[in-house]
């Protein structure tokens, strides 16, 4: 066969396989037997191997996998992926409805959709071709999982129109795939996945795409990153448009005129939920009109125009076999119930939180009791109550220890606290938990240093404080179990890269009591360097709005410790950055910038800056960046394909800039 004939045959096979795949995986209406699909796929694989120059990125053969990645690259979302606020009962929904009506009046409708229990993903298409896929991450930065997403057969590699857009959806593992996966793992003596959500997340983070391909994941798309650029006016229209482009959306959605219709829809799915071929953990309710959504706007974390109704927690009875104690990084000793494993809301549960000794006494919990378990918000297992009438007399009272279960130091209860705490700074459990916190995503974000690896390094006495992480050698790491050359190279690279983090990452990683990620950034912005912060007085700390009395005391106490001072000196000697690298915020009064005191809205696609970069630069000059246009907006910056926000700005007579004007002012 010559090249021209091969190209013609390959095109025919790709067209057929794409058609059959769409019918089977998206429409759920197969027109040919599986054997015929497999035969055509093998023929295409053979031709592409014979004529490698004819391979293409949108060929159905890429779904088989075969790429082995070194690590996952970071991806910045063009439009942030916000989380949703929660509703747990009918009153929460009615309160949500009241807030919507107060803001936009009575002329609007909702769209109610099943809340798929999976992993949120973002897919980007350029000229109709699948270009990149990413996890949600922290909503702003995710991980590039493009190659693994290509193995999901309901993800179109080419759209029906040659357009560029970003879409959002939920990747999930169907119940049948989950059961088959766990059956195979059990046969091989491997640890079972707790639930389909964990299995889906683990599959999409496989570095070997062939493994991801065997997991038989699926996806439902539920939104467009920037719908106004496509001329779509409502969420329901957007979903219909996604259908026409070849995406798989969930057909169980319903447009509802009132909140009572939404509640009716929810009640129906509480009953039907167990019969679905995939797991859901609630219902998502969204205001349909995009102009209403823009008017309602967003908070820092979630849109005001949407809410997630969480199903009532399922309750089951099991036996409490033992109470285990763990010591956290702040020294708090936490009791955990060890249970006879039982299935709750689709997950096998063997442990549940007991929080503290007071709760155990209040609920009269004994070892050996029959207890009622539920998952709070369908996530965290907890003991609801004890079935005292089922006691046999063999149950045993539980008493919290007087000494730390890890280091045997005497436990104390600080004033105003219910928790018992180990205050020994050399307690091994606290050191280990502190190390795990230091390398976590919101802190130093050292890829490859998870809880298991940290515990392994700690057990081998290779690390005893965070500075030891920067002393690790290739030889030490290669000597550890399950550590190959590639893993070690990646880990050493990640440790080295972490030295360049901005101050707030290090500050949060140090685990100073009461200092969370947000407070760490505020402190870094205001003081600029570790040295200035370390020498700050309590009064200087309290002068910052977000810093309260307890936090100020905690910060001063931390930096007064000789051990803390020595640790920071050691980290600095290894080249760990001690300065804030971001833009320092300027108040409107302090700034002479044109942005000072002004509310700015960004819309459309910016070519030279990401939305987040533009936001940071404007706020650093004393401006405030909002998500929607209103009478309070002073300025709109309109990029390419700007939509309804630009139109509204024009109607309200608001000043409008293009990106060139924005860059000109930012560079002054």
- Tell me the per-residue pLDDT of 93-131, one tens digit each, with 9 for 90 and over: 999 999 999 999 999 999 999 999 999 999 999 999 999
In a domain, 416, yes or no: no
Q: Do 96 and 200 reside in the same domain of the chain?
A: yes
Closest Cα partner for 465 from 475, 457, 476?
A: 457
The per-residue pLDDT of the chain, averaged, comes to 88
By residue range, what is the domain housing residue 638?
A: 599-666
What's the confidence (pLDDT) of residue 443? Answer: 92
In a domain, 583, yes or no: no
Sign of CA dihedral 140, 142, 147, 148: negative
Q: Do 55 and 96 reside in the same domain of the chain?
A: no
**pLDDT tens by residue, 502-520:** 999 999 999 998 898 878 9
In a domain, 581, yes or no: no
Q: Do 130 and 267 reside in the same domain of the chain?
A: yes
The CATH code of the domain that includes 15 is: 1.10.287.610
The CATH code of the domain that includes 327 is: 2.40.50.140
What amino acid positions are annotated as catalytic residues? 115
Give 329's Cβ-side CA count (13 Å radius). Answer: 17
Q: Do 604 and 659 reside in the same domain of the chain?
A: yes
Taking the C-alpha atoms of residue 616 and residue 624, their distance in angstroms, rounded to an integer, is 10
**pLDDT tens by residue, 397-420:** 999 999 999 899 999 887 767 788
What's the confidence (pLDDT) of residue 538? Answer: 93
CB-based burial label for 434 (10 Å; 0-12, 13-18, 19+): buried
What's the confidence (pLDDT) of residue 628? Answer: 76
Last residue of a domain, one of 557, 573, 589: 573
In a domain, 652, yes or no: yes
Give 483's Cβ-side CA count (13 Å radius). Answer: 21
Mean pLDDT of 383-390: 90
What's the confidence (pLDDT) of residue 477? Answer: 93
What's the confidence (pLDDT) of residue 67? Answer: 61
**pLDDT tens by residue, 164-220:** 999 999 999 999 999 999 888 888 877 778 788 888 988 898 888 888 899 999 999
What's the confidence (pLDDT) of residue 70? Answer: 64
Q: Do 217 and 334 reside in the same domain of the chain?
A: no
What's the confidence (pLDDT) of residue 522? Answer: 86
Taking the C-alpha atoms of residue 64 and residue 67, their distance in angstroms, rounded to an integer, is 10
What letter would DSSP give residue 274?
Answer: G
The CATH code of the domain that includes 277 is: 3.30.470.30
Q: Do 478 and 560 reside in the same domain of the chain?
A: no
In a domain, 417, yes or no: no
Q: Is 578 helix (H, G, I), strand (E, B) or coil?
A: coil
C-beta neighbour count of 367 within 10 angstroms: 16
The CATH code of the domain that includes 481 is: 1.10.150.20
Q: Do 487 and 529 reside in the same domain of the chain?
A: no
Mean pLDDT of 603-620: 81
Closest Cα partner for 381 from 410, 344, 431, 407?
A: 344
In a domain, 199, yes or no: yes
φ/ψ bin of 630: left (φ > 0), alpha (ψ from -120 to 50), beta (otherwise): beta
In a domain, 342, yes or no: yes
Mean pLDDT of 559-568: 91
**Confidence band for 533, pLDDT divided at 50, 70 and 90:** very high
Sign of CA dihedral 652, 653, 658, 659: negative
pLDDT of residue 91 exceeding 80: yes
What's the confidence (pLDDT) of residue 258? Answer: 96
Last residue of a domain, one of 308, 332, 360: 308
Residues, the chain? 668
Q: Do 294 and 161 reside in the same domain of the chain?
A: yes
Q: Do 275 and 374 reside in the same domain of the chain?
A: no
φ/ψ bin of 315: left (φ > 0), alpha (ψ from -120 to 50), beta (otherwise): beta
Count up the domains in the chain and report the number: 6
Closest Cα partner for 381 from 423, 342, 353?
A: 353
Strand partners, 543: none
What's the confidence (pLDDT) of residue 225? Answer: 85
Cβ-contact 558, 512 below 8 angstroms:
yes
| No. of helices (H) and no. of strands (E), the chain | 24, 24
**pLDDT tens by residue, 253-264:** 999 999 999 999
| Strand order, beta sheet including 129-135 | 129-135, 119-126, 165-172, 218-224
What's the confidence (pLDDT) of residue 563? Answer: 86
Taking the C-alpha atoms of residue 173 and residue 215, their distance in angstroms, rounded to an integer, is 8
If one compares 494 and 57, the residue with the highest pLDDT of the two is 494
If one compares 121 and 522, the residue with the highest pLDDT of the two is 121
Looking only at the bridges linking them, the beta strands covering 635-638 and 655-657 are parallel
**pLDDT tens by residue, 328-341:** 888 899 999 999 99
Sign of CA dihedral 389, 393, 394, 395: positive
**pLDDT tens by residue, 427-444:** 899 999 999 999 998 899
Last residue of a domain, one of 461, 483, 498: 498
What's the confidence (pLDDT) of residue 603? Answer: 86
What's the confidence (pLDDT) of residue 392? Answer: 94
- E strand or H helix that includes residue 248: none
With a CB cutoff of 8 Å and minimum separation 6, the contacts of 400 are: 325, 333, 335, 357, 411, 420
Mean pLDDT of 287-292: 94
- Radius of gyration of the chain measured on its C-alpha atoms: 28
Looking only at the bridges linking them, the beta strands covering 599-603 and 624-626 are parallel
C-beta neighbour count of 314 within 10 angstroms: 15
With a CB cutoff of 8 Å and minimum separation 6, the contacts of 103 are: 295, 296, 304
What's the confidence (pLDDT) of residue 85? Answer: 87
Q: Name residue, tokens 């005129």.
A: 257
Taking the C-alpha atoms of residue 348 and residue 195, their distance in angstroms, rounded to an integer, is 7
φ/ψ bin of 128: left (φ > 0), alpha (ψ from -120 to 50), beta (otherwise): left
What's the confidence (pLDDT) of residue 583? Answer: 67
Tokens (6 digits) for 543: 């002068």
C-beta neighbour count of 476 within 10 angstroms: 15
Q: Do 460 and 440 reside in the same domain of the chain?
A: yes
Q: Do 459 and 384 reside in the same domain of the chain?
A: no
What letter would DSSP give residue 585?
Answer: P
Q: Do 480 and 391 reside in the same domain of the chain?
A: no
What's the confidence (pLDDT) of residue 185? Answer: 84
Q: Which percentage of the chain shows pLDDT scores above 70?
A: 96
Mean pLDDT of 361-376: 89
Strand partners, 320: 339
b/e burial code for range 103-135 (CB count within 10 A of at least 16 → b): ebeeebbbbbbbbbbbbbbbbbbeebbbebbbb
In a domain, 637, yes or no: yes
pLDDT of residue 24 exceeding 80: no
Q: Which percentage of the chain shows pLDDT scores above 90?
A: 48
pLDDT of residue 469 exceeding 80: yes
What's the confidence (pLDDT) of residue 535? Answer: 95
**Confidence band for 590, pLDDT divided at 50, 70 and 90:** low
pLDDT of residue 584 exceeding 60: yes
**Confidence band for 377, pLDDT divided at 50, 70 and 90:** low
HEC profile of 421-439: EECCCCCHHHHHHHHHHHC
- E strand or H helix that includes residue 412: strand 411-412
If one compares 274 and 375, the residue with the highest pLDDT of the two is 274
pLDDT of residue 587 exceeding 60: no
């Amino acid at each position: 066969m010559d090249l021209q004939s091969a190209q013609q045959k390959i095109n025919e096979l790709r067209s057929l396989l794409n058609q059959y795949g769409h019918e089977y995986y998206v429409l759920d209406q197969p027109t040919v037997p599986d054997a015929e699909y497999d035969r055509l796929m093998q023929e295409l694989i053979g031709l592409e191997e014979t004529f490698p120059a004819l391979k293409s990125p949108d060929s159905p053969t890429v779904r088989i996998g075969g790429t082995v990645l070194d690590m996952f690259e970071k991806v910045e979302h063009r439009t942030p992926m916000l989380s949703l606020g929660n509703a747990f009962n009918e009153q929460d929904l009615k309160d949500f409805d009241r807030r919507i009506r107060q803001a936009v009046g009575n002329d609007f409708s909702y769209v109610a959709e099943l809340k798929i229990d999976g992993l949120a993903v973002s897919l980007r298409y350029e000229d109709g071709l699948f270009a990149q896929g990413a996890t949600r991450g922290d909503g702003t930065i995710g991980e590039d999982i493009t190659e693994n997403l290509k193995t999901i057969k309901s993800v179109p590699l080419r759209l029906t129109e040659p357009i560029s857009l970003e879409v959002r959806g939920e990747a999930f593992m169907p119940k049948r795939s989950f059961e088959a996966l766990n059956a195979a793992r059990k046969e091989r003596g491997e640890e079972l996945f707790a639930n389909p959500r964990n299995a889906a997340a683990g599959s999409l983070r496989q570095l070997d795409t062939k493994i991801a391909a065997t997991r038989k994941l699926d996806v439902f798309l539920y939104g467009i990153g920037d719908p106004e650029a496509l001329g779509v006016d409502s969420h329901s229209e957007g979903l219909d448009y996604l259908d026409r482009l070849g995406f798989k959306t969930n057909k169980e959605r319903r447009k509802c005129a009132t909140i009572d219709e939404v509640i009716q829809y929810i009640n129906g799915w509480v009953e039907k939920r167990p019969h679905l071929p995939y797991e859901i953990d609630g219902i998502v309710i969204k205001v349909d009109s995009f102009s209403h959504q823009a008017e309602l706007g967003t908070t820092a974390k979630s849109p005001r125009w949407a809410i997630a109704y969480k199903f009532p927690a399922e309750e089951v009875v099991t036996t409490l076999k033992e109470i285990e104690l763990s010591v956290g990084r702040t020294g708090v000793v936490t009791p955990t119930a060890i249970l006879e494993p039982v299935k709750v809301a689709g997950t096998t549960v063997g442990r549940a939180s007991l929080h503290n000794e007071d709760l155990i006494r209040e609920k009269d919990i004994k070892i050996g009791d029959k207890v009622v378990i539920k998952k709070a918000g369908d996530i965290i297992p907890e003991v609801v109550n004890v079935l005292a009438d089922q006691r046999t007399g063999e149950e045993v009272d539980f008493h919290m220890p007087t000494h730390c279960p890890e280091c045997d130091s005497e436990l104390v209860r600080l004033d105003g606290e219910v928790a018992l705490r180990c205050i020994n700074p050399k307690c091994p459990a606290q050191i280990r938990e502190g190390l795990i916190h230091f390398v976590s995503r919101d802190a130093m974000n050292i890829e490859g240093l998870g809880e298991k690896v940290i515990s392994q390094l700690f057990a081998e006495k290779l690390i005893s404080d965070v500075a030891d992480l920067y002393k690790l050698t290739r030889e030490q790491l290669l000597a550890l179990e399950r550590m190959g050359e590639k893993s070690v190279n990646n880990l050493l690279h990640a440790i080295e890269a972490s030295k360049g983090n901005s101050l707030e990452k290090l500050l949060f990683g140090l685990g100073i009591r009461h200092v969370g990620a947000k407070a760490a950034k505020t402190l870094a912005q205001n003081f600029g360097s570790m040295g200035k912060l370390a020498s700050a007085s309590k009064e200087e700390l309290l002068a910052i709005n977000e810093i309260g009395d307890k936090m100020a005391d905690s910060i001063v106490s931390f930096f007064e410790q000789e051990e803390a001072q020595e640790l920071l000196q050691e980290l600095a000697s290894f080249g760990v950055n001690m300065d804030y690298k971001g833009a320092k915020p300027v108040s409107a009064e302090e700034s002479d910038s044109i942005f000072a005191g002004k509310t700015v809205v960004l819309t459309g696609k910016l070519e030279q800056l990401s939305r987040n970069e533009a936001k940071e630069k404007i706020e650093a000059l004393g401006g405030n960046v909002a998500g929607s246009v209103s009478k309070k907006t002073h300025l709109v910056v309109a990029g390419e394909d700007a939509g309804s926000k630009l139109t509204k700005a024009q109607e309200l007579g608001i000043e409008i800039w293009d990106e060139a004007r924005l860059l000109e002012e930012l560079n002054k």
